[in-house]
């Protein structure tokens, strides 16, 4: 056999996205197509472009429990009205007195989201880029693969920390937002922590559909070892036994609410979050080419070019369902070490 270098087979060592991510969950990703300044939604309807901002009027998180008699459990389906309450039928329609059902006007405020830009790039000499059409296509393909590979983690990182939006002064919601989260009992074992997240979603998300649990891969691996989660039949996403989507985000750093965007978890504990439905709007990637003239008195031969592929991303969700829990990775159940 010869001792010289051998040719590298094509298709090896190429960048690719992770097997499981937020963008792989059914119904999350919305990829628009531009038609005369309009976009086509998932139902084929033309809607205005959303790259300036997104405004959503969400459904209420839960059925309003307005029975005044707490002994009846504050549940709107159990009442004895108007018979036996001393309330007339006319009054019953407009009053919440003693077991009377009342339609709530406490609707959710609009959720406003400003898109952020996620990009990947490649820097090379102008001579290299202009060497041939084949070489240019190779470089452009590398940038495209790189963007596709990093996009899931970048979206997850932004959802968790809100780093880009916070720097830009946007009011986007994010998982570490201390103003909207509800913290559950801290430092529970990882099995109990998952149970508590499921319970919180069940109690507070009566009128919600999709439910999400967000955690680092290290925590999701422990859940998988206990057979608490399963792979979907099409092998695109993970589910709990109760049907909640589990996102083992490579972009999640496992830090808690109110922490700096760069904060991370430790080897022994991590934060997990639970939310209601999430949509990720992805605009068509836009190529950018920028010449970088680095000529100086001592060198007039350097003229590099940056090729970038930029994608507008909007992560839309209603923080009326937003739970956080710090999980002990070294304990299995309620801090008992079992």
Are 181 and 90 contained in the same domain? no
Distance, in Å, from the CA atom of 80 to the CA atom of 96, rounded to the nearest integer, reads 13
Cα–Cα distance list, 23 to 40, 159, 278, 332 (Å): 19, 12, 10, 29
Q: Is residue 7 part of a domain?
A: no
Confidence of residue 66 (pLDDT cuts 50, 70, 90): very low
Evaluate if pTM is beyond 0.75: yes
Q: Is residue 6 part of a domain?
A: no
Burial of 306 (0-12, 13-18, 19+ CB in 10 A): middle
Are 134 and 260 contained in the same domain? yes
Q: Is residue 224 part of a domain?
A: yes
Cis amide bond preceding 82, omega within 30: yes
Of all residues in the chain, the percent with pLDDT exceeding 90 is: 50
Are 221 and 95 contained in the same domain? no
Are 34 and 127 contained in the same domain? yes
Q: Is residue 302 part of a domain?
A: no
Q: Is residue 201 part of a domain?
A: yes
Q: Is residue 264 part of a domain?
A: yes
Burial of 39 (0-12, 13-18, 19+ CB in 10 A): buried
Burial of 214 (0-12, 13-18, 19+ CB in 10 A): buried
How confident is the model over 92-128, as pLDDT tens digits? 555 444 444 555 555 677 899 999 999 998 887 776 6
Q: Is residue 91 part of a domain?
A: yes
Contact 17, 152 (CB under 8 A): yes
Are 69 and 145 contained in the same domain? no
In three-state secondary structure terms, 308 is strand
Are 126 and 77 contained in the same domain? no
Are 98 and 170 contained in the same domain? no
Are 165 and 263 contained in the same domain? yes
In the chain, the number of structural domains is 2
Q: What is the span of the domain harbouring residue 51?
A: 22-58+110-283+313-328
Identify the domain boundary among 80, 103, 126: 103
Are 152 and 76 contained in the same domain? no
> What pLDDT, on a 0 to 100 scale, did the predictor assign at position 288?
84
Distance, in Å, from the CA atom of 169 to the CA atom of 316, rounded to the nearest integer, reads 17
Are 43 and 183 contained in the same domain? yes
Are 123 and 93 contained in the same domain? no
> What pLDDT, on a 0 to 100 scale, did the predictor assign at position 61?
75
Q: Is residue 12 part of a domain?
A: no
Which of 314, 313, 316, 291 lies closest to 147 in space, CA to CA? 313
Are 158 and 43 contained in the same domain? yes
Strand partners, 230: 239
Confidence of residue 136 (pLDDT cuts 50, 70, 90): confident
């Amino acid at each position: 056999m010869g001792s010289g270098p051998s040719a590298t087979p094509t298709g090896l060592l190429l960048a690719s996205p992770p097997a499981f991510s937020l963008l792989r969950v059914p119904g999350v990703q919305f990829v628009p197509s531009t038609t005369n300044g309009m976009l086509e939604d998932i139902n084929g309807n033309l809607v205005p472009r959303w790259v300036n901002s997104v405004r959503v009027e969400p459904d209420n998180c839960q059925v309003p429990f307005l029975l005044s008699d707490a002994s009846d459990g504050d549940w709107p389906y159990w009442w004895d009205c108007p018979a036996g309450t001393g309330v007339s039928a006319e009054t019953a329609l407009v009053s919440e007195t003693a077991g009377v059902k009342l339609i709530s006007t406490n609707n959710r405020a609009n959720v406003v989201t400003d898109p952020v830009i996620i990009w990947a790039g490649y820097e090379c000499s102008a001579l290299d880029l202009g060497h041939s059409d084949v070489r240019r296509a190779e470089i452009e393909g590398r940038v495209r693969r790189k963007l596709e590979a990093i996009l899931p983690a970048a979206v997850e990182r932004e959802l968790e920390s809100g780093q880009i939006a916070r720097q830009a002064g946007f009011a986007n919601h994010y998982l570490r937002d201390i103003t909207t989260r509800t913290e559950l009992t801290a430092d529970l074992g990882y099995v109990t922590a998952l149970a508590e997240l499921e319970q919180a979603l069940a109690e507070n998300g009566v009128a919600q559909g999709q439910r999400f649990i967000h955690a680092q891969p290290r925590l999701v691996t422990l859940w998988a070892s206990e057979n608490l989660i399963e792979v979907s039949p099409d092998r695109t996403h993970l589910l709990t036994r109760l049907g909640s989507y589990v996102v083992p985000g490579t972009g999640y750093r496992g830090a808690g609410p109110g922490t700096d965007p760069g904060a991370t978890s430790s080897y022994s504990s991590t934060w997990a979050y639970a939310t209601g439905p999430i949509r990720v709007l992805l605009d068509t990637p836009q190529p950018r080419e920028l010449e970088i003239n680095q000529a100086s008195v001592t060198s007039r031969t350097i003229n590099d070019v940056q090729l970038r592929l930029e994608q507008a991303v909007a992560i839309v969700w209603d923080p009326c369902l937003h739970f956080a829990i710090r999980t002990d990775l070294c304990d299995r159940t309620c801090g008992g070490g079992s």
